[in-house]
Structure 1
Amino acid sequence: MLPEPSPPRWRERASSENVGMPLLVLLNGGPASGKSTLAHLWAQERPLALSLLDVLRAMIADWERHPVEAGLRTRDLALTMIGDHLAHERDVIVPQFLANTTFIDQLQKAAMTSGAQFVEVVLLETPEIAERRVRDRAARAERSGSPNVVHGSLGTESMQEVVQRHREFIDSREQIVRVTPVDGDVDASLDRLRRAIDARVRSADRCRPAD
């Protein structure tokens, strides 16, 4: 006989964090901004939470040579997994560099369908820090012999242009939560992310009508 499943995590958190439903967090941010690392660490604090999309993308053969096509296919696969995970009342965080609403709208729909709360967060950095991070990643890729997917995905745009275009898009998102990472300090950056998400969740709970 199988053991009884444990209570959903959001019920365990409800009394201490004022949470009443699973979370779907979009963590937006520029190339090499640390969003995948922070998403993974945030998920590790919430048992059975799911952090997408890098793991899925890596499972697609030859994705490095076809980053755009692999990225789009990964999103399709991710949406199916996200919906299922939220339906089982577990949290999901999605680290992605987005400058248009297509995938964001799909995530919002997945949250609504599953009865989850959608929180949109962005990591904001200066163009200088973003440029240095991309250079550092390129150097690590060269040393390891791995493809430099970040530079390949930027096309002919400079990092200044990428950051500016991304900032213009972010400024059009009224509900987005802005987080400035602490350069070189993952723990402090994670703490800022955690606090920002928790604050948005508490704010939404206060605005939600009582049953």
Structure 2
Amino acid sequence: MGRTEPVARTVGGVSRLIHLNGPPGVGKSTLARRYVADHPGTLNCDVDVLRSLVGGWEADFVGAGALIRPAALAMIEAYLGTGQDVVLPQMLIRPTELARFEGAASAANAEFVERFVMDERDAVVARFHRRGDSDPAPWHRQVREIVAGQGGDEHLLRCHDALERLLAERPQAVAIVSRDGAVEATYRALLDSLAPSPG
């Protein structure tokens, strides 16, 4: 697919923070990379990429995330302030964490757009264990270790269930069905959900 024109923004040209929420391994980062490749000027604020820029991140992945989070929020707010969109592929379950990113969008007079990228419970577990086969990102080992330390597959299922509950509590959020191997269909569903309403 060739490069496309950016999807039209909301009335008045308001910039958007497009938050791709969802369980680990469901394809959030893949969608974010595809979206920015097709929409020049849009920033892919992948927190996992940013934390890998912190010295010693391999030994303390969680700590690096805590250190980089304020910088990510500041970068998001500043970039939205230029009138351009930002895509954030990041699992956020706690409402307090969601509020921080929503606040960054609000501070930049931008729209906070929530898309939950979801698959079935058992599929999420299988996809997490296969992640890394086609994605060379260097932090998969650290993420696997964290998940294993928090209960392994049971932790993944708890995350999935918590996200489903959160989705039900967020009236403006939209669920995007992501099936294993169906990248094109998932991406098209994302684009369709972001297109302006007719009229």
Provide TM-score, normalisation by structure 2. 0.83
1:3 alignment counterpart: none
Picking from 22, 39, 52, the partner of 1:58 is 52
RMSD in angstroms over aligned alpha carbons? Answer: 2.8
Q: 1:144 to 1:176 in 2, by over 3 A?
A: closer
> How many residue pairs are counted as aligned between the two chains?
190
Q: Percent identity?
A: 27
Structure 2 CA distance for aligned equivalents of residues 108 and 144 of structure 1: 27
Larger Rg: 1
* SS at 2:114 equivalent: strand
Residue in 1 that maps onto 2:24: 31
CA deviations 1:7-42 (Å, max 9, x no partner) are xx98x946xx85621111111010111101101111
Q: Cα distance 1:76–1:146, how it changes in 2: closer, same or farther (>3 A)? A: closer
Aligned partner of residue 63 in structure 1, secondary structure = coil
CA–CA separation in structure 2 for the residues paired with 1:98 and 1:161: 13
- 2:194 matched to 1:197? yes
Partner of 2:146: 153
Contact persistence 1:28–1:35 (CA under 8 A): yes
Go from structure 1 to structure 2 and tell me whether the alpha carbon gap of 1:59 and 1:13 turns closer, same or farther (over 3 Å shift). same
Quick check: 1:138–1:151 contact (8 Å CA) kept in 2? Answer: no
Structure 2 CA distance for partners of 1:83 and 1:163, relative to 1, 3 Å: same
| Gap runs ≥5 in structure 2 | none
Distance in structure 1 (CA, Å) of the matches to 2:144 and 2:8:
40
1:171 matches 2:168: yes
Unaligned runs of 5+ in 1: 1-8, 207-211
Partner of 1:107: 101
Give yes or no for contact 2:127–2:180 (8 Å, CA) kept in 1.
Answer: no
More helix, by proportion = 1
When the two structures are superposed, what TM-score results if normalisation uses the length of structure 1? Answer: 0.78
